[in-house]
Amino acid sequence: MKRKSVLSIAFVLLLIAMAALTFAFWDQLFTNDSGNIDVGVGKTIEITKTIVSGEGKRLVPVGALQGEHDVYHIEEEFTITFSEKLANDALNNYQLIVSLENVRTADEVDVDTYGLIIFEIAGKELRITDEVKTVSIPAEEINKVNLKITLENPKTEDEYNAIAGKTIKYTLSFEYQQFG
């Protein structure tokens, strides 16, 4: 009798673990490196990217002396598609929430404590130092979300050293919510 209950408990734990892994895998299917994002209601899709200026290019602060291989901004576009349920519902009842999170160096150190990296998402500027780091966009206006990254000139040597020459990663999360 005792052996049956141990086996039953082990079986239930195995089912729970398999369900968790399946859902984690399923969430990964909704994004890819090409910038295509399939978002459903109540699901949050997180994308972690590295700031890349392009082949042989380097991001420099706006207004800085621009060299041959320097750029003042980086642009990226994310194509948003709707899950079947959302596409069949009235889109004017939903909004897309885009959040900026975790601006870090490649070795996971918080890097932009001075707010020098400016993320412009759908026309709204966000910095990691902002209290609110989200943009809300009515769903019927969405099929693409544009991201523009620029740097502000550092005011001190400490500010400069915080980001100069570092590989910087950031995370964006995308979630559809019903107006409520």
- How far is it between the farthest Cα atoms of the chain? 79
**Which residue type occupies 127?**
R
- Which of 101, 89, 100, 173 has its CA nearest to residue 139? 89
Distance, CA of 121 to CA of 137 (rounded, Å): 10
The residue that leads in pLDDT, 32 or 42, is: 42
168: closest CA among 116, 97, 99?
116
pLDDT range class, residue 175, cuts 50, 70, 90: confident
Using one digit for the tens of pLDDT, what is the confidence trace for 5-15? Answer: 766 676 655 55
CB count, 10 Å around CB of 12? 10
Whether residue 101 has pLDDT greater than 80 = yes
At 29 the pLDDT is 33
**pTM as predicted:** 0.71
Strand partners, 82: 39
% of the chain beyond a pLDDT of 70: 69
Q: Are 108 and 100 in contact (CB under 8 A)?
A: no
Residue-level length of the chain: 180
Structure tokens at 129: 């130092």
